[in-house]
Structure 1
Amino acid sequence: MEWDDGMAARAKDKNEAGEVEAKVIAAALALAAEGPWGRVTLATIAARAGVALADLYPRLASKGAILDRFARGIDRAVLAGDDPSLAAEPARDRLFDVLMRRFEALAPHRAALRSIAAAERRDPLGLITRIPGFLESMRWMVEAAGLDGTGWRGLLRQRGAAAVFLAVVPTFLEDDSEDLARTMAALDKQIARGDRLMRRLARAG
């Protein structure tokens, strides 16, 4: 019975931590959408979320950590939308589908992302600290596209997916259409360009 009680208590704590995390992420994005991200502090995020500042420590102890948690949620949303019927499609089509699902998951947060992107352009050191998490997201996107993300070839695929995604971000941030038509066109163009480059490298090798 004591073991069962302990398990129940841990499950309750985990659920409560998840609820706090969701509130904090939502508050951070709301504040970013309302004004410059650079002026947002952990204290203002906690106040907007209705939680104690101590609740952010240690899992969400920086704005970068909050953004990383948000990115992990986007990863899960993309992976949950996996479409097995695409397995027989060419690799570039599968990658297009996965990255487009990522942009669609991010679309409701464009105002916040514009503010965050503007702040990160003025904070290169902060941006650098988030690169490993971004590349980890791209590894999962490559895997979701049915491509091997391991080894040196996998590393090239990860870097290629990252380059494609980042090249499309400026278009996405300004694309307010409901169907993200401009984003889709830009993504298709960048994937085609990357595909041609990989083919040339393969022939050269």
Structure 2
Amino acid sequence: MATAKTKQKILKTFLKLLETHPYDEVSLPLLAEEAKVKLSDMRSAYASKLKLVAAFYEQIDTSVLEERDEDMGDQPARDRLFDVLMTRIDTLAEYKETVRALRAAAQKDPALALDFNAIEVRSQKWMLIAAGIDVAGVKATVVSQGLSIAFGRVLDVWLDEADEGMPRTMAKLDKELDKGTSFMKRLKGVESAAKRMRSFLKKAAQGRNHRRRRGDETEDDSADFADEAPAGA
């Protein structure tokens, strides 16, 4: 069983290799060799490269959650989310070439892109939680998926920006959040319409059931009357 120290060593080596190697060239045997661990320890620690990517995202998530500015609690939800996502970008700064390699790999391989997307959506759910934005159920998945796509567009700008002040990155994030706010308003409208429709259908069903019961009672009364009527009537 690989220790926590061994797992961290493997992950650190993996991220370092991605700075100079394409994702598809970083094999598990190469990683074991570079990390100076046995393949059995590699298997115990991470069964696949996808597990390593998930561990990387989890590491970033944890750092962002630890850095969360609790003084932002009284700010609008959009501003809180902007702050959280900029904190995420700041946290990713030392892994910029690693992020570049992962995005390049996803662009080349649609199946891999879907795998990465599932990991990203899970991370963005935590970013929403960090921003104090309460969404649940299907809505949480829809919002997290939209945020994942938007953040990916922001990352593309960030990867090409040399200015440490990141004016283009912040402007892009601003724009994407504006579009997201508009989408959320439309989603809320759709939810309200769906709620009204469900209420209407429920009342209609209750009305049909009520009429059906009254019809059954009328038939029973008629049958009783027929049974009680004198012969030949």
The answer for the alignment partner of 2:55 in structure 1 is: 69
* Number of residue equivalences: 191
| Equivalent position to 1:142, from 99, 124, 128 | 128
Are positions 1:90 and 2:70 aligned together?
no
Cα RMSD over matched residues? 1.9
CA distance in 2, matches of 1:50, 1:186: 41
The Cα of 1:114 is off from its aligned counterpart by 1.2
Unpaired runs of 5+ in structure 1?
Answer: 1-12
Give the Cα separation in 1 of the matches to 2:41 and 2:7. 9
Which one of the candidate residues 150, 155, 173 is aligned to 2:141? 155
Aligned-pair distance for 1:119? 1.8
The residue type equivalent to 1:62 in the other structure is: S
Residue 130 of structure 1 aligns to a residue whose secondary structure is helix
Q: Which has the higher contact order (CA 8 A, sep 6+)?
A: 1
What amino acid is aligned across from residue 156 of structure 2 in structure 1? P
Residues 18-97 of structure 1: pairs in structure 2 closer than 5 A = 18-97=4-83
| TM superposition score normalised by structure 1 | 0.85
Which has more radius of gyration? 2
The amino acid that maps onto 1:61 is A
- Using the alignment, how far apart are the partners of 1:149 and 1:106 within structure 2? 25
Deviations 1:41-96 (CA, angstroms, capped at 9, x unpaired): 11111122121222111331211111110110001001001111101100100111
Aligned 1:168-179 pairs, distance under 5 A: 168-179=154-165
Does 2:112 align with 1:120?
Answer: no
Q: Which aligned runs of 4 or more in structure 1 are off by greater than 6 angstroms?
A: none
- Partner of 1:34, secondary structure, is coil
Q: Which amino acid aligns with 1:159?
A: Q
Give the match for residue 10 of structure 1: none
Distance 1:159 1:117 in 2: 16
- Between 76-85 and 106-115, report the one with greater CA deviation: 106-115
Identify the range of structure 1 (161-170 vs 87-96) with the bigger mean alpha-carbon deviation.
161-170
Q: Taking structure 2 as the reference length, what is the TM-score of the superposition? A: 0.75
Q: Percent identity?
A: 33
Given that 1:149 and 1:158 are in contact with CA atoms closer than 8 Å, whether structure 2 keeps it comes out as no
Structure 2 distance, partners of 1:189, 1:39, is 36
Contact residue 168 and residue 187 of structure 1 kept, 8 A = yes
Question: Matches of 1:168 and 1:130 in 2, distance apart?
Answer: 16
